[in-house]
Structure 1
């Protein structure tokens, strides 16, 4: 079995013995993060209660970092796993000017965000990565 989340192609911005956090390389969504459980499991219910708390806490901290650094209008948090059945959470900053707003990012785009706006958000990514590491590294 090959699993793209077991064998990350993108270096994580944070990794410990339980989970990893990566920034998704999506030009239209700077700051889009995934919180990935390191062990290959499919569902939250596969985790022990203590591990479930660790994962939920990490998703919460990533959301807080996104809100603090990027200041989005909304943060979408989703765990789908239909395509990649490996437990992970999408944590996505949303803005009224983003390509799909107000629809989910997986639908057809309704606009193109102006490049200077996206560039300004991309410029904040090192600060976002550092804030996530600070929050999770405790």
Structure 2
């Protein structure tokens, strides 16, 4: 089996330990979109031990808290799909009323064009997530 999340980080690593990692996905239209990725190859969340699921969710919540504090989005979407990449991972997605797909999911048809100026501003702001995510995750797992 060739799993992209087993062989690659999946983005810029913001925090990691032996069980999971948080990455900044580098999605050009969604600056700040993070992924929380379980290190071992597991396809379904229900296949994991309860303590491991709890650990993942503590980190997902920590990433959401950092995102809300730093990016101040209108909403944060959480998604665990795995249809294209059957490896346990959660998307933590900052949403704004003027993003390209709002109010639909980011994988739905585009609703509008977003100016490059606005996206550049959001990309600059997303660089501040590095320290914030690290801090929130360490607090959540302490």
Which bin holds the TM-score, normalised by the shorter protein?
over 0.9
Q: Write out the 4+ residue segments of structure 1 that deviate beyond 2 Å after TM superposition.
A: none
Q: Could you tell me which residue of structure 1 aligns to residue 113 of structure 2? A: 112
Q: Could you tell me which residue of structure 2 aligns to residue 91 of structure 1? A: 92
**Residue 113 of structure 2 aligns to a residue in which SS?**
coil
Q: Distance in 2 between matches of 1:116 and 1:124?
A: 13
Once the two structures are superposed, residues 102-135 of structure 1 have per-residue CA deviations (whole angstroms, 9 ceiling, x without a partner) of: 1110011111112221111111122111100111
Q: Could you tell me which residue of structure 2 aligns to residue 58 of structure 1? A: 59
Normalised by the length of structure 1, the TM-score is: 0.95
Normalised by the length of structure 2, the TM-score is: 0.92
Once the two structures are superposed, residues 67-124 of structure 1 have per-residue CA deviations (whole angstroms, 9 ceiling, x without a partner) of: 0000000000010001110000011000000000011100111111122211111111
Q: Distance in 2 between matches of 1:61 and 1:137?
A: 9
Query: Could you tell me how far 1:66 is from its partner in structure 2?
Result: 0.7
Q: Could you tell me which residue of structure 1 aligns to residue 8 of structure 2? A: 8
Q: Could you tell me which residue of structure 2 aligns to residue 80 of structure 1? A: 81
Q: Unaligned 5+ residue runs, structure 2? A: none
Root mean square deviation of aligned Cα: 1.1
Question: Number of paired residues?
Answer: 138
